Amino acid sequence: MLPPRFCGIKRNNRCGKEGIAVPTAYTEVYRQTRGGVHLLSRTRFATLKPKRGERAQGTIPVPGVDPPWDLPAFVVRGAKDGPTLAVTAGVHATEYAGIAAAIHAGRTLDPQALRGTLIVVPLVNTPGFYERTMYTNPRDGKNINRVFPGRARGSASERVTHFLTEELFEGADAYLDLHGGDMVESLIPFSLYQLTGKEETDARSAELAEALDLDYILAVPPDALRGGSYTAAAALGIPALIAEAGQQGIYDSAAEARHARGLGNVMIRLGMLDGTEQRYGIPKRLARFAWLYADAQGLFYPSVAVGDLVQSGQTVGEVRDLFGKPLQTLHADVSGPVLFLVTALAVNKGNPLMGLGTEEPGRSRAG
């Protein structure tokens, strides 16, 4: 059987129909890819001039953005050929555990032990970082993770996402985007990928989700979250996941370690590193995300904790006014774990308050 061809290698998609096969031995299949050498030569990450068996680092300006938006980047090019893994963090600027794990990986991964290429952008939302901006990019007020794949002539966030889609995703064999609970969110670790209907992409994403070894795996249907990084990459046929660990604007070394271990496992699974995957537990699979939102501005009093298993119909919290009068009673409309929970007392109309994961089929409500 011919080895599968990888959509990431070709621009403008899209693998030819022939030659695509559902991999039965994932690692072996990846070892047959051409690796990062050719791919890097066609992206701006090549301007860092990574040499075989070495690490390069520097900043890459996003084209057409004024004032300049420089992305920090590491390119670790292995001594041997293999797949290209792209990693981003800090799309949300206060999700610190993923940012720290990405920097550590870019700085310490031994290129002599690596097959293929690791490209790391450890902080995408540079304008929001020192501002400690939650959810959005302060340049245009947009949530970067809702505007992928972006536009070449769009706002600052749209240009950044366009750049990442064109220059990073299209050259990658797999993609990880490291997140966590934002400044006002508690969270239990989980991974998220979008089902595309492309059997081989979905199968590879599922394998990498397992390798990430977070508590839950959420494989969401295409109607779930629009404009996400992993959505844009998966649409190109690239296995793509969000890894969520860490919470509440805290730099937490234990959460950083969860990200680091997941990233290491993914590289082992891809055949980029030798070794044995480190296991924390067996992730539980969920079918969709169901978010609950505030109907009014007010004070949010949750009656559940993050990680709790709730039942459909259960009261999970209340929004009250400044005199304590109830404005909204929140009920779970699915059964499953509370994956994230807003911990700020102050909430605005339309804000997400919590995200439940469920095994029940149906339409996701998230975003």
Query: Applying CB under 5 A, which residues contact Zn ion?
Result: 92, 95, 179
- Is there a contact between 163 and 126 (Cβ–Cβ < 8 Å)? no
CA–CA separation, 161 and 154 (whole Å) = 10
SS3 label, residue 364 = coil
- DSSP code string of 17-43: STT----SSHHHHHHTS--HHHHHTTS
CA–CA separation, 158 and 153 (whole Å) = 8
Cβ proximity to Zn ion, 183 vs 217, nearer residue: 183
Cβ proximity to Zn ion, 40 vs 292, nearer residue: 292
Cβ proximity to Zn ion, 33 vs 94, nearer residue: 94
Question: For residue 142, what is the DSSP state?
Answer: B
Residue 252 exposed, middle or buried by CB count within 10 Å (0-12, 13-18, 19+): middle
The residue whose two tokens read 């990405």 is 102
- Is there a contact between 273 and 113 (Cβ–Cβ < 8 Å)? yes
The residue whose two tokens read 């450890």 is 122
Cβ proximity to Zn ion, 5 vs 179, nearer residue: 179
CB of 354 to Zn ion, least distance (A): 15
- Is there a contact between 202 and 225 (Cβ–Cβ < 8 Å)? no
CB of 298 to Zn ion, least distance (A): 24
CB of 364 to Zn ion, least distance (A): 17
- Is there a contact between 135 and 145 (Cβ–Cβ < 8 Å)? no
CB of 251 to Zn ion, least distance (A): 15
Cβ proximity to Zn ion, 31 vs 179, nearer residue: 179
CB of 157 to Zn ion, least distance (A): 14
CA–CA separation, 337 and 253 (whole Å) = 24
Cβ proximity to Zn ion, 252 vs 318, nearer residue: 252
CB of 180 to Zn ion, least distance (A): 7
Angstrom distances, CA of residue 269 to CA of 70, 209, 243: 31, 11, 16
Cβ proximity to Zn ion, 92 vs 115, nearer residue: 92
Cβ proximity to Zn ion, 77 vs 92, nearer residue: 92
CB of 214 to Zn ion, least distance (A): 14
Query: Residue 156 carries which side chain, given as an amino acid letter?
Result: A
CA–CA separation, 271 and 269 (whole Å) = 5
CB of 42 to Zn ion, least distance (A): 29
Cβ proximity to Zn ion, 134 vs 203, nearer residue: 134
**Other C-beta atoms lying within 10 Å of the C-beta of residue 291:** 17
CA–CA separation, 185 and 114 (whole Å) = 36
Does 63 sit behind a cis peptide bond, omega within 30 degrees of 0 on the bond before it?
no
CB of 92 to Zn ion, least distance (A): 4
Nearest to 64 by CA among 130, 161, 131, 136: 161
